[in-house]
Chain A
Amino acid sequence: MISQQGLLAQLPRLPQQDLERWIAFEWVRADGVPGRYIFQEIDVARVRLILELRDELEVNEAALPVVLLLLDQLYDLRRQMLVLQQGVGSGAGV
């Protein structure tokens, strides 16, 4: 886990107001209170991903909610699939 200040220090190309906007839009779910947010590892990875999508892959912020919605559903399905695979795997072993 890392604080807002620590995260911004790690990502000098990320302006603070962008990060705070992403949290306000719920693209990133941080714990804590505004100005004193705390980020889990997955939040940090997601911030990096959003930054990369926007700055490298040219997904502008107007399109980002659509991309994130689809990505989140993709990962929901993948997690369910992985659980099912485990379920099938352990079932077969009985």
Chain B
Amino acid sequence: MDDPYKILGVARSASADDVRRAYRKLAKTHHPDLNPGNAKAEDVFKAVSAANDLLSDPGKRARFDRGEIDAAGQPSAPQGSYHDHADGEAGQRYSRESEHFGGWSDEGFADMFGSVFRGARNRGAEARARGGDEHYSLETDFLSAVNGATRRLTLPDGRALNAKIPPGTLDGQVLRLRGQGGEGWNGGPAGDALIEIHVTPHAFFSRVGQDIRLDLPVTVAEAVLGGFVETPTPGGPVRVRVPPHSDTGSELRLRGRGVPKHGSQPAGDLLATLRVRLGPPDPALDAFMKSWTRETPFNPRSAMETLP
């Protein structure tokens, strides 16, 4: 990536407000949802967003200025671009055609391909004969949602269904079982069963996007000397190397040990945050601490003393 200051057109001395103003000005012109089909606008917007991500974060900006990191950050494309959906059939959901008074699509040359358009418009009539969707909710444990599972559901009318919870399912996600809802009328098809998944929290795992976080307790000796410890992961326990001189708060990243790969999503990582545990009182530890003096002085509260 090029110099983020150049991309936003601001001086290296620019204030946070200058950066935000410059970003907004460029974003307003180049936002990809306002410029659908314009690949250049999308590229510019990505570069502008990445530059803004870097320069709007005081920590990252300082590290960039000191040369500690280069400009190649995560180019944060706008999430779930609206234009990808709106250009397709799904975009019909937000159509304003019915608000036009005889818009051009109702007459003129659009009628040359009339059947294509009419096909889209007749779907409303078809839907009226379709059975209603029925809503259910299904509670599932954390690991079943992460790894995927099959659940047997008994519906109020006595029918039993197998609901396949795909790997990587999020709390609140809705599964659609086609044709398992209310019966159709006028010979129409049955509606769908919509099953909202509720994921119960896990005792020590938590999910952040595709990554799984946990606090990994270690002993004083493991933290100081390093060593191998076993950590749980959603796919089963894994031995992980704790580097010597790790501290509470140190983070270990186990690549690919988070939420497993599903669909187009690559597998996430397991992020283990170390927590040093002293364990129950131990006379030998007490005796050792009494006899121990540091060779290098250390005040863990030094950062607090400079603040008011």
Contact = CB atoms under 8 A, between A and B. Distances in A.
A12 B301 CA distance: 32
A75 B82 CA distance: 10
Interface string B153-186: 0000000000000000011111010000000000
A4 B173 CA distance: 9
Interface in B63-95: 78-88, 90-95
A21 B97 CA distance: 24
B91 A79 contact: yes
Interface residues of A, number: 42
A87 B194 CA distance: 36
Interface in B88-122: 88, 90-97, 105, 110, 112-113, 116-117
A60 B292 CA distance: 63
Nearest to B97: A76
B225 interface: no
Interface residues of B, number: 43
A36 B95 contact: no
B81 A45 contact: yes
Contact of A57 (B31, B37, B86): B31
Contacts of A62: none
Contact of B36 (A32, A41, A75): A75
Given A6-B172, A48-B78, A74-B36, A58 B24 contact: yes
Contact of B96 (A4, A32, A76): A76
Interface in A26-50: 29, 31-32, 36, 38, 40-46, 48-49
Interface string A1-16: 1111111011000000
12 contacts: A38-B135, A42-B85, A42-B90, A56-B27, A57-B24, A57-B31, A58-B24, A72-B94, A75-B94, A76-B95, A87-B112, A87-B116
Interface of B: 24, 27-28, 31, 33-34, 36-37, 78-88, 90-97, 105, 110, 112-113, 116-117, 133, 135, 170-174, 176, 194, 196
Q: What are the nearest 8 A-B pairs in CB distance?
A: A6-B172, A42-B85, A1-B174, A87-B113, A3-B172, A75-B86, A49-B82, A45-B80
